[in-house]
Amino acid sequence: MAKIVLITGATAGIGEACAQLFAREGYNLILTGRRLDRLEKLAAKLHKKHNVEVAIGNFDVRDREQVITDLEALPAKWKKVSVLINNAGLSQGLDPVQNGDLDDWDRMIDTNVKGLLYVTKVVSNWMIKNGSGHIINLGSIAGKEVYPNGNVYCASKFAVDALSRGMRIDLLPHGIKVSSVDPGAVETEFSEVRFKGDKERAKKTYEGFEPLNAMDIAETIWFIASRPKNVNINDIVVMPTAQASATNIFRH
Ligand code: NDP
Ligand code: 8X3
């Protein structure tokens, strides 16, 4: 059977681009997300185009019972996952901490930190049984630098950075590689989600410079996943050429 990649948050942006790229490379796919219609459409498209098998996990990563139940319900052949891409994540709001919305904070911490952990717990145990695997976490430049009003989103991505380091130590004896990718500005649905559907404000985020696109990050992830057995890429920070740091973007 072909190798299997499990991608969380495959209904949009970086996760969807990873699904396209790994399918092109012949991987069978487990695609997860909350929007079932998108998962079904993508699964049908990739099966037809690349003749790969696709399983769907239609769950919210914040719901730990559902994460465990849905993943464990997959047939045994799907549990031979070679690569887990912990991509599902979001930012909500961009406010100084004193004005922050508690629900926004919960959503970010529950998704970006706890959701990633729930999926990792299940899949790392499959990988331990299989004696190999590779986990690739989506961090962010926001997990390396704190920027104004980024407070809780940055904290959630600093947590991902810490988890990538911790997972690498704990899983090393089991033959499992752990890597992280930390992008700067990537034009996806990310800003629309951050600004709660305000498309104009979202568009402004990327005005006056050329941001990264989802496939730029998928290609980086593919590079990491396709290294030989003796090579692990711990961490890659990928920025748009026009972005020198989290807060320094050169706009025309
Ligand atoms: P998108 O908004 O385009 O995609 C986010 C994906 O995450 C969607 O597929 C969404 O699926 C899924 N998701 C969000 N919340 C949940 C949830 N509770 N349960 C299950 N799935 C969820 O954003 P990006 O592709 O840009 O973001 C992907 C990752 O990359 C995130 O972790 C983000 O923090 C990180 N990142 C993004 C950057 C950027 O500038 N865009 C830069 C650095 C890092 P659905 O809504 O269907 O559940
Ligand atoms: C997304 C990039 O700079 O908006 O993680 O935090 S940023």
Give per-residue pLDDT as tens, 176-185: 999 999 999 9
The answer, as to whether pTM is greater than 0.90, is yes
Relative to the CA of 142, which ligand 2 atom is closest?
A: 6
> Does residue 138's CB lie within 6 angstroms of at least one atom of ligand 1?
yes
C-alpha radius of gyration, the chain, whole number = 17
- For residue 182, which ligand has an atom nearest its CA? 1
pLDDT of residue 234: 98
Q: 221-233: string of b/e by CB count within 10 Å (b at 16+)?
A: bbebbeeeeeeeb
Q: How far is the CA of 190 from the centre of ligand 1 (A)?
A: 6
pLDDT for the residue numbered 74: 98
Q: pLDDT tens for residues 62-98?
A: 999 999 999 999 999 999 999 999 999 999 999 999 9
What's the rounded Cα separation, in Å, for the pair 186 and 215?
A: 10
pLDDT digits (tens, 9 = 90+) for 119-169: 999 999 999 999 999 999 999 999 999 999 999 999 999 999 999 999 999
User: What's the 66 CA to ligand 2 centre distance in angstroms?
Assistant: 28
The average confidence (pLDDT) of the chain is: 98
Question: Are 42 and 16 contacting, i.e. CB atoms less than 8 angstroms apart?
Answer: yes
Q: Is the CB of 137 under 6 A from ligand 1?
A: no
Q: Is the CB of 140 under 6 A from ligand 2?
A: yes
pLDDT at position 1 over 90: no
Q: Among the atoms of ligand 2, which is closest to the Cα of residue 150?
A: 6
Between CA 154 and CA 150 the distance in angstroms is 5
46 close to 52: Cβ distance less than 8 angstroms? yes
Span from the CA of 221 to the centroid of ligand 2 (angstroms): 18
User: Nearest CA to 177 among 228, 211, 208, 132?
Assistant: 132
Q: Which are the catalytic amino acids? A: 153
Q: 250: how many CB neighbours lie within 10 A of its CB?
A: 11
Q: Does domain 4-238 have CATH number 3.30.70.660?
A: no
Domain ranges across the chain:
4-238
Ligand 2 centroid to Cα of residue 102, in Å, is: 20
Any atom of ligand 1 within 6 Å of the Cβ of 88: yes
Q: Which ligand is nearest to the CA of 183?
A: 1
